């Protein structure tokens, strides 16, 4: 729901209430707006009608928004966590094929998170293995995790050794994706998840 109060620049008095709704599609963001004039109704009536209009538009657009999020958004899946807020993930991305179709592919990356002390919002940074290589990506993520969470040198050493504590088999699987342009099919991703689960249960 989005409602804006529009004031006159000349008098500073409330002139109208604007209802607005928008959705971002392949060709850019589309907006719908409708104004409810204070000269034709009370402020309370204008607010009520603007909110109702905005809610109605949002309900109409929600199925399209959900479809857009699922089709175009990037999704990640946890493979394993080295520590709280330090993950190895697979990033899900839809790839457009030459024949006009699409295929879901998965790309391995490291993600480090923290809660920003000022904004109180989650802040994250990812390190793509396809761009940095496995070791460089891990070390870069570990350095940022150290800085963000004030780790001691001993804690850093423990985390560095924990990389291999998850088993070299995991890294061989991830490295095997290098031959496939660092992307994994849904079938390969399922195999990774099952083998990692089997390893961590030992």
pLDDT in tens, 156-185: 887 777 654 444 445 555 555 554 444 555
Tokens 């790839």 — which residue? 95
Mean pLDDT (the chain, rounded) = 69
Which of 32-46, 131-145, 187-201 shows the lowest per-residue confidence on average (mean pLDDT)? 187-201
pTM above 0.75, yes or no: no
For position 147, what pLDDT does the model report?
Answer: 92
Binning pLDDT at 50, 70 and 90, where does residue 202 land?
very low
> Which pLDDT value is given to residue 143?
93
Q: Which two tokens stand for residue 158?
A: 């423990």
**Is a pLDDT exceeding 70 seen at residue 120?**
yes
| Averaged pLDDT for residues 93-120 | 76
Per-residue pLDDT tens over the stretch 15-74: 888 777 665 555 556 677 888 888 888 888 888 888 888 777 767 765 554 444 333 333
Angle, nearest 10°, between helix axes 168-176 and 186-200? 170
Cβ-defined contacts of 13-17 (< 8 Å, 24+): 14/38, 14/43, 15/39, 16/46, 17/43, 17/46, 17/47, 17/49, 17/50
Give the Cα separation of 31 and 22 in Å (integer).
Answer: 4
Q: Is the pLDDT higher at 142 or at 52?
A: 142
**Hey, how many other C-beta atoms are within 10 angstroms of the C-beta on 27?**
6
Q: What local confidence, expressed as pLDDT, does residue 105 receive?
A: 67
């Amino acid at each position: 729901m989005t409602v804006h109060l529009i004031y006159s620049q000349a008098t500073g008095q409330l002139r109208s209430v604007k209802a607005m709704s928008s959705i971002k599609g392949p060709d850019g963001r589309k907006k719908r707006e409708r104004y409810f004039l204070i000269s034709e109704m009370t402020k309370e009536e204008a607010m009520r009608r603007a909110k109702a209009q905005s809610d109605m538009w949002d309900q109409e657009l929600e199925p399209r928004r959900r479809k857009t999020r699922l089709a175009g958004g990037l999704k990640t899946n946890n493979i394993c966590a080295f520590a709280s807020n330090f993950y190895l993930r697979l990033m899900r991305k839809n790839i457009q094929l030459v024949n006009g179709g699409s295929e879901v592919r998965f790309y391995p990356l490291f993600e480090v998170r923290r809660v920003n002390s000022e904004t109180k919002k989650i802040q994250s940074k990812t390190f793509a293995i396809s761009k940095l290589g496995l070791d460089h990506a891990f070390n870069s993520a570990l350095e940022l995790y150290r800085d963000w969470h004030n780790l001691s040198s001993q804690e850093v050493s423990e985390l560095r050794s924990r990389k291999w504590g998850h088993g070299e088999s995991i890294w061989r699987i991830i490295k095997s994706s290098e031959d496939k342009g660092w992307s994994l099919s849904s079938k390969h991703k399922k195999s990774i998840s099952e083998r990692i689960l089997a390893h961590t249960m030992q």
